[in-house]
Structures are given as structure tokens and as C-alpha cells.
Amino acid sequence: MRIIAGEARSRIIEAPKGRDTRPTLDRVRENLFNIIRGHVPGAAVLDLFAGSGALSLEALSRGAARAVMVDRDREAHRVERLNAERLGYGDRAEILLCDWQKALASLRDRSERFDLVFLDPPYAMGDLSGVTEGLLPLLSEDALIVTEHQAGRPYQVSPRLEETDARHWGYAGVTLYRLRKEAAP
């Protein structure tokens, strides 16, 4: 795997060994970042189920201000830390070894806010309603939530989110969401 664009363009990153993670393919990342390019510069990024950290690292390479990567897998955590350090992003990347519930609780306690959120859980998870409900207090007003899923099988999410775009490339699908704008009284 490699970083597609930005200051770390063409630099190689590692993926966790084993079958517990499914790294986002280079072509999917390239297409995704072409779609969201206007949301990346200066963004605070949250990457749940981060795996290798490829999505966060790509965002940092393209000008995101900072990223928080979360994964409960020790090998993924090791690889995320290694990749961030090798790319020189150790000071802009926070890497948490815990499940998503603990991470969201900790980030809420710190009053964190995020502009861009990547959700790339195991495809079998199916329902992200609980995850996306837990995210709501952490979202900036115009936050963009990116979910990667099996093509044609988007996850269930909070009804307080609205879909803004959906694409697929081969086996991988991506759906983008924003907070619903409440109708004016």
C-alpha cells in the first residue's frame, strides 16, 4: 500500500498481517479522496476501525490538521503507530488502542470535535446505528462521515444522518453522510 497524494505521495505504508483487517485499496482511496478533497485541508479527522490507518494518513498527507485513529486490534495499533512515525505524522496523529465505545466516551469527555470521520468496520457488522449515534456529539456542524462497506450493502446509520453520496468500485462501496439540517420553524 502507498499514500496516493500530498506531501507523503508514493510513500509505502504497511498493513496489519492476518485476516482481521481489510485495508482500503489504493484505487478506492484515490477515488474517495477525489470526491472529498474539499473537506480535507485543515480537518480534524477521526478514523474508527482504522486498521493500517491508511485513510487518516492519506488525509494528513493531503493537509488535514490532525487525526485520531482507533482500533482494538494490537497488530493494527502497532502498524498505525509505525506508519504515522515513518511518515513524520507522530505529532499530528493520536493512536488509541481500544474499542469504539471507549474511544467515543473518551473523546466526548475531552469535548473533541471532528470535521471528517472514517468508518470502515468489518463488513459483517452491518448496523452502525449505535456507532453513528455515539458520534453525534463529536461532529462539527458541517462534518462529513465516510463509511466503507461491501458494494450494494451500506450500513444502517443514525436517522439523524442523511446520505449525500454513494459510490462503489468493484467489491468496495463508499457512502457519505452529513447531519440532517432541521427544517426552520
- Return averaged pLDDT per consecutive 10 residues of the chain, 185 residues in all: 92 78 73 96 97 95 98 94 96 97 97 97 86 96 94 91 94 93 51
Does the residue 13 lie in any domain?
A: no
| 0.75 exceeded by pTM | yes
Can you tell me the distance from the alpha carbon of 75 to that of 61, in angstroms, rounded to the nearest whole number? 23
pLDDT (0 to 100) of residue 23: 63
pLDDT (0 to 100) of residue 184: 32
Give the CATH number, domain containing residue 49. Answer: 3.40.50.150
pLDDT (0 to 100) of residue 161: 96
Does the residue 4 lie in any domain?
A: no
Does the residue 1 lie in any domain?
A: no
Does the residue 106 lie in any domain?
A: yes
The boundaries of the domain holding residue 119 are: 26-179
Instruction: Please state the domain count of the chain.
Output: 1
Report the 10 Å Cβ neighbour count for 34: 10
Angle at 8 between CA 106 and CA 44, to 5 degrees: 30
Q: What are the residues whose beta carbons fall under 8 Å from the beta carbon of 73, sequence distance 6 or more?
A: 16, 20, 21, 51
DSSP class per residue in 88-109: T-TTTEEEEES-HHHHHHHHHH
pLDDT (0 to 100) of residue 19: 52
Does the residue 76 lie in any domain?
A: yes
Does the residue 37 lie in any domain?
A: yes
